[in-house]
Chain A
């Protein structure tokens, strides 16, 4: 039997975590596992702390871990992330799925996290510590820490691109998703892929090529040539890893050229 313990704060909930305990946020992934009696879940902890606030502070936007995709769509401060949130599931999923839970969603999920990776977001934990998103993703499955918020600097206007490729539209899990932050005004180039590895991953060779080129068909050829270097897609029911490798450069090219090709 799975037991459930409810705490008033994320910090208190965090002290109850161990190997057989899972934290419940929106439940869109965890409750599936509970319904299907996936082994290894013995105890669920939840927190009543309303960490759904989205606010600007200095150069960054803070998004509470319990903010849902719908909250992100509705908040003025996160207008740059609204197209990403709209790409997650259908309306009911968007009303339940949290930003914090998306950070832990296994491939092919994690579209929102892919965007956060391209935007160099910072993850804030209940113990007061914080971590760059790339470091966090590299070790996320070994950590037992509760996330309370993420902070992210809004991209310069027109410099953030996102696209999700799926078989069923408007809803459907990703064959892959791509988020790009173009180099401009001191921002470094970032290219992040979702569903192209166990967690969202940066395409670092492509980023390096993007930072020294102009955006036109000829200019981006070297970027496209190394698009999948360092990525590790898997076979799943949606696509084989071979297919993902073949189509990822094509979709990156389309995204960079604004859908022209």
Chain B
């Protein structure tokens, strides 16, 4: 199968790889680069488990043509923590039991990070909107919304 050379930045590091012509970004990040944080939930843009950030905005890696990220900057959950020090979002998810099976968690974290980078003190409704493309089958969403509010330095009682 013909493969194409591409280069991009992944969590601040230069990456140069050969990708399949019509391969999606999620497959290449997982199988080729070895970053297993974007999860394969549906492969059709519906579940959000594969959410990464591309040039600062949330993007579904399963429906992103891998070769289209040439020269772009990609962030995944792998880049969230600083060594052993977890990102405020990760800590709040642990403290608030916002991850149960954990399958949706990387996508939730990236969708939440995209929100907080742009809007550091969101309302509850803005948090709900920000994760509206991400499905969780375990938590019932409330602990996730609370955790994102707490990571933003607000109380979970923050208004709608």
Which residues in A have some Cβ–Cβ distance to B below 8 Å? Answer: 1-4, 6, 24, 27-28, 31-32, 34-36, 44, 46, 70, 89-93, 95-96, 170-171
Contact = CB atoms under 8 A, between A and B. Distances in A.
B88 interface: no
Contact of A35 (B2, B21, B24, B129): B24
A106 B103 CA distance: 30
A149 to B, nearest CB: 21
A91 B22 contact: no
Contacts of B68: 24, 27, 46
A91 B64 CA distance: 15
Given A44-B22, A90-B132, A95-B57, A31 B63 contact: yes
| Secondary structure type dominating chain A contacts | mixed
Contact of B1 (A1, A32, A36, A95): A1
A31 B59 contact: no
A70 to B, nearest CB: 7
A216 B57 CA distance: 43
Given A32-B63, A90-B133, A90-B134, A95 B21 contact: no
Residue among B21, B115, B134 having the largest count of chain A Cβ atoms under 10 Å: B21
A30 to B, nearest CB: 8
B43 A32 contact: yes
A91 B132 contact: yes
Contact of B22 (A34, A92, A93): A34
Given A31-B65, A90-B134, A170-B132, A4 B43 contact: no
Contact of A96 (B63, B67, B129): B63
Contact of B2 (A3, A34, A44, A70): A3
Given A4-B67, A31-B65, A35-B44, A93 B21 contact: no
A96 B22 contact: no
B132 A24 contact: no
Given A3-B22, A35-B44, A91 B65 contact: no
Contacts of B130: 91
Instruction: Classify chain B's interface size.
Output: 20 to 34
B53 to A, nearest CB: 9
A27 B22 contact: no
B133 A91 contact: yes
Contact of B58 (A2, A46, A91): A91
B133 A92 contact: yes
Contacts of B60: 28, 92-93, 96
B133 A93 contact: yes
List of 5 A-B pairs having minimum Cβ-Cβ separation, nearest first: A90-B133, A31-B63, A2-B22, A171-B132, A92-B58
B63 A35 contact: yes
B23 to A, nearest CB: 9
Given A32-B63, A171-B132, A171-B133, A93 B111 contact: no
B151 interface: no
A62 B110 CA distance: 33
Interface string B68-96: 10000000000000000000000000000
Given A3-B22, A92-B51, A35 B62 contact: yes
B45 A32 contact: yes
Given A1-B22, A46-B68, 4 more contacts: A31-B64, A34-B22, A34-B24, A170-B132
A164 to B, nearest CB: 13
